Amino acid sequence: MNPPPLICVSTSVTVDKYPERAYVNAAYLNAIQQAGGVPLPLPPQLEPSARAELLKHVHGVLLTGGGDVDPARFGEPPHPATAEVSPARDSLEIDLTRWALENRVPLLAICRGIQVLNVALGGSLHQDIPSEPGSPLDHSQAGLQGNARSVTAHQVKVQDGSRLAGILGALEVDVNSFHHQAIKRLGRGLKDVAWAPDSIIEGVELGDDARFVLGVQWHPEELVGHDRAARNLFAALVRQARERASL
């Protein structure tokens, strides 16, 4: 029997704090393990040679949530609300995205991850949804206390016939929401396939069906305990990674 596939998981980093830390929410690790994969955190502090050595053994990539992408990456000055920018993390995740695309490594991008995927392919972002483009919908679930990350905030409609719809097993899903940035101009080769009620893009996939590349703006890792559609996303990533591992 083949060993479980290794899924590279990007990490968050502290910004302007001491001591410097690299960290990842346990929910991502738990969701991958529940689906049968082995998570492998990849922090930006690793030397390029160490990173290259690890990537020799990786079968899938998960881009995680976190701080904002540097607007300079898509040619804009920073909005006053832009925060927690880490040039080192941006560089790592954009390079990791391009590596996965070039090597046909399955990739799932979550929240910040969908934004990194879009920027890596030449797209741009709305830097602050409440002010640009403006929306009556609260995408940050502000004010919720306790176990708020597993509470859903709004519905997302998914395009019939899309790869994402097939994986989720639904054309409408209730999602949680913890972001203030979102896709504006789509990157090369990406298709928008899911939307919030205010038309903010909530899901993308690569037009090339031969490569498994999906991005969602919500946090399915926090919903796997009670939501089949969320579990299906991680199961699909691990399944694709297992197929790659068997090559």
Return the pLDDT at 148: 76
d(CA 118, CA 233): 19
Q: Which of 93, 202, 221, 222 is catalytic?
A: 221
Active site residue 219: yes
Residue range 6-245, CATH number = 3.40.50.880
Return the pLDDT at 136: 87
Active site residue 79: no
> pTM to 2 decimals?
0.96
Q: Which of 154, 179, 219, 222 is catalytic?
A: 219
Express each pLDDT in 91-150 by its tens digit. Answer: 999 999 999 999 999 999 999 999 999 999 999 999 999 998 999 898 988 655 445 788
Active site residue 139: no
For the chain, the domains span 6-245
Q: Which of 111, 139, 154, 202 is catalytic?
A: 111
Express each pLDDT in 134-172 by its tens digit. Answer: 998 989 886 554 457 888 999 999 999 999 999 999 999
